[in-house]
Structures are given as C-alpha cells and as structure tokens.
Structure 1
Amino acid sequence: MHAVLFASDFDGTLSHGQEIDAQTLAAVSRFRQKGGRFGVCSGRDPGTLKDELSQHGLACDFLILMNGARIEAGADCLQEKLLSGWEKALPLLRARCLFFTMLSREEAYMFRSGKVRTAEVSAGEQAYIDAIGRMYAMRRCAEELAAVYQISCRTQDGRAAVALADELHRFGLSAWPNCEYVDVVPKGVGKAPAVAAVAAHFGVASGRVYTAGDGRNDMEMLSRFRGFAMSRAEECVRRAASWTVKTVGEALEQVCGEAFA
C-alpha cells in the first residue's frame, strides 16, 4: 500500500470557534489507523496550536507551524527559518494594523493600536491574545526580541490586508493575506513548500498528498496538491482546490475511500 498524507489548515478549516467536530476527530483517527500521515499546516505558533490540539486529544504525525517557518515531525525539527529585515517595516505595521504579534522562540511582543475598540476584537482573537500572554515571555519593545519567526497582523478588513501585504512585499518581506489578517514570514516560506518538505520526509509521492484550507494563504497548497476547500471559503480559494467540502471529516472520508480502497 502506498503512503498517503493529509495536511489541514487549522483555524476555519479543522477548527471552528475553537471546536473540532466529532465526525472530523473520528475521521482523523480512522485515517491514521489505515496508515495515513495526518498533520496541521497553520500560521499558528507552536504554543497555542499544541495547546488546542492537546485539549481535543488530537494526535498528529507532523506540524507545519507559522506557515512553514518551523516544521516538526514527531521529535524531529525538519525546518526552522527566522525572519530578517522586519525592523524597517515596524512603522508601517504600527500605522496600518489594529494589532500585531511578533513571535520568537520563547518570547513575544504585541502591539495594539490606540484606535482599536474592544468591540473590534472577537472572542477568538481575545482568547489567542490571552494565550500568547500565558505561553510566552512578553517584551515591551520589539527590538528586545533576539530572533523572530513570524509577525501576525490584524487589519481593518480583507481589502486592507491585501494592501498591507503588497506594501510589505516592497520591503522585500514575504506576506500572506488571509481575510483581515496578514502573516509576515521568512523569505521563501509558505505552506506549499512546507507540505512538499513533509511529503519528502515521509516518502509520499505528490499525487498522494491531500490538503485542506479556507484562506488565501492556503491557495498554493490547494492547487499544488489534491486540495479540498471549505465551502464557506472565498470563491478564489474554492477555485484553487479540486473539491469543496463542509468539514475536514468529510474530506478524510473521501480520501479513505479513494486512497485505501
């Protein structure tokens, strides 16, 4: 039997409102029992993602963190890349973002605009902000961080996010817009090359690699591999995928019927 790999985005794809439905949890378990390699491919940091996966009791064969800045397979770190040149973009980020978070290995810096109102921060965003504060040593200045993996930004809306990403590209930075958010990552880092690296590590042919996502930062991995877009995703995201489904569980049931038949 040939190896099969499934990489799922987390927020808005695998998890909805910090919940993973029972059908999807059961489908992940069946997929792995059949020999499939399952993992999460997210813009999330190691601390908050691992904490949520643990709460759901969800075991993974690999984790693609911070859009691929760090890749883990079991106890092995397959890739770790740090962001450079971010200092020159700080004035732009402070002018355009409602808030942003900069993550180092064990430290973090968080900026919050004086213009942001409490009502503009969703419950999920506040939970994430609180979790970052619990899991990382918070620094008062960005310049105090010894190294940076990623900068996660929240803008006013999707149009503002795309505009910010375009401006960050002019600074020579890699930026991935997704709805009202933008992730600034090391040069050459992205979900698609990260999934390819994991597939190579496990010896899985590209034609046996499946992906699932709901955002613009998922489009490249959805089109490069056998992609499932969430039905609530933007039209451009759905067009990038081979199939549209409501849940990751639904996608995994299809893969099990196709790949392990």
Structure 2
Amino acid sequence: MTNMMFLYGKPLLPKMHYSRPLSLMQTNTLRVHATNVLASRLSRAEPPLKKEVVEYMCDVDAHFWSMRRSKANFYRIISLLQSFDCNREMVHRCVCLEKPGYNCPRSFALLMLVCFPDLILPTVFLYMFLIGLWNYRYRPKNPPHMDTRISYADNTIPDELDEEFDTFPTTKGTDVVRRRYDRLRSIGAKVQSVLGDFAAQGERAQALLSWRDPRASVLFLTFCLFAAFVLYAIPFNVMALLAGFYTMRHPRFRSKYPSSPTNFFRRLPAKTDCLL
C-alpha cells in the first residue's frame, strides 16, 4: 500500500520522454507501429483478436473527425463548467439575501477573515476537506464502464455513424460529402463565433493601455492613479471589508442594469471591425 501511494507522485513516463519529448507526428507514428505489432501478435492468439479491436483499444483513430466524439467532448466541458456555475449560483444566493438568516454568519465570517488574513488559506483548505468528507457518502460504488449516454452513441443518427467509420480519404459519393461538409460548416461557424468573442474580450483588455481609444485610456489611467493613492492611504483590510459589504448589500440598493465598469469594458475597441 505504501509503494502504491508513492506511485502517485512519480512521473508516468520514463525520464527521457520529459528531457527530450517526442513531437505529435512521432507519437502518432509510434502508436501506429505499436498497434500493428500488437495486432500481429494477438491475431495468432487463441482465440484470435481482430485488428479492429486492437485499434479501438489503442485509440488509433482518436485524431480523426467524429461528430459524436466532438459532441461528447463538448458536453464534458459543459458538465465541468456546471460545477463552477453551481458555486456562482451559491454566491449569488448569498449576495441577493435569499435567506436573510444566513447573512449575519456570512458577514461575521467575512469580518474575521479580513481582520485575520492568516486564516484565509487554512479556512479554504478546511472547507475543501469538509466538502471531501461530505462527498464520501456519494462516492462511486462500482468501477467505471462504457457509458453510451456520455459517448452520445444512443442518440447518434446513422449518417454521423457512417461518417465516423468512413475511411480516410473518403469513399462516399459527392452528394454525401457535400451534405457533411455543409453540416461541418454550420458547426464551424458556431465555433468561429465563440473564438471571435474570446479574441474580442482579450483585445478590449489590451486596449486599456494601448491608446487605441484615447478617451478610454485617459479614464483608465486616471482611475489607476486614483486607486494607487487610495490603496496607499487606506489599509488593505479596510478596502477588502468595504468591498465585501458592498458585494453583499441589500437587493434594494442594487440595479438591474450592468455596472459602470462592465459598460466601460464593453465599449472598449476591438479588432473586429478590422477583419475582412
């Protein structure tokens, strides 16, 4: 058991793989050769194992396009982000005073953490420890298995399955390839829009100090100078306490419209207008 625990801290691969790592093309080539060697040996076993099964177990075609696998990976990311969204909803309920009886303990906890900042990290780790103990009741009792629902194999249309098992290059007719290409273009357009939004947000952040918009840069520089003097004159504990109480203010003092910093950031210029 002790040796097994120490294995968690050791690297997965030999040291040479980290000192002189292989490129992606070399890794794919080695995977293909290893698959061929395994398939040739297991084909002579009793009972013989087909090459398709070995290729599936070694993930030879993992880098090929698959609509089903793309949707599965997308919803894996969505399920991962939902955990963060649950924490955001919990903070939102605390801030909006949906249960006013819990506001006093939260305010007292905020006051204690601000007055004694040495307790912040111990409190965070103790909170994670308690969450882990609470989740022990809901631990998985069975080993992991193939899940058709997570893989989106239960509601995949026949055309998507036919596209996944198609050879490379394709052997299908012109009409089938045109229909699949149009579907891929529609999906690529959505991905393109999301990437464009991420790029625009980053360019707006760069525009704060690049003088792309002189008036916005003047406003931001003035705010930075004022914030520097205020934070130098007022202790950090007081500022953190004021920010915490301002965040947990009563809903009567809130506005349904976006805040001024949000409006200011959205008005910053991006390079979207410069694209053809």
Shorter-chain TM-score range: under 0.3
TM-score by length of 1: 0.14
Q: TM-score, normalised by structure 2?
A: 0.13
Please state which structure has a larger fraction of its residues in helix.
2
